[in-house]
Amino acid sequence: QVQFVESGGGLVQPGGSLRLSCAASESINRIYTVAWYRQAPGKQRELVADITNGGIVNYGDSVKGRFTISRDNNKNTVYLQMNDLKPEDTAVYYCNRLAPLTRRPSASWGQGTQVTVSS
């Protein structure tokens, strides 16, 4: 089963930017949809954005217009460009594959990468 390793998180001031990377342990050419999730302390994990193999993207309402998801199948990597970051974006960010029909994430989660937005 493919494993994902997230990286690129850090501490950033409000209004700043970060680019997260999600590296897969094997080819993602046959993985139809890959998604970014986030989980803030005391909150449930929420879907941030997802992208299909054909480049169709979907964003959560709270990040529309600020975040951009992309994928490079040649590098087996999915990216999340985050601009105009807000304190409420503070969370651990994870990536995962989504099942084609149910859009449910797999049961296997990586360590995630911490994003902290604070002045």
Q: Both tokens of residue 3?
A: 């494993």
Q: What is the pLDDT of residue 32?
A: 84
Alpha-carbon distance of 89 to 102, in angstroms, equals 26
What pLDDT, on a 0 to 100 scale, did the predictor assign at position 29?
84
Say which residues have a Cβ less than 8 Å from residue 90's Cβ, sequence separation at least 6.
40, 115, 116, 117, 118
CB 85 within 8 A of CB 63: no
For residue range 31-42, list pLDDT tens digits in order.
789 999 999 999
Bridge pairing between strands 10-12 and 113-117: parallel
Strand ranges for 53-90 from DSSP E: 57-59, 67-72, 77-82
- Check: CB of residue 51 under 8 Å from CB of residue 69: yes
User: What tens digit of pLDDT does each residue of 42-96 get?
Assistant: 999 999 999 999 999 999 999 999 999 999 999 999 999 999 999 999 999 999 9
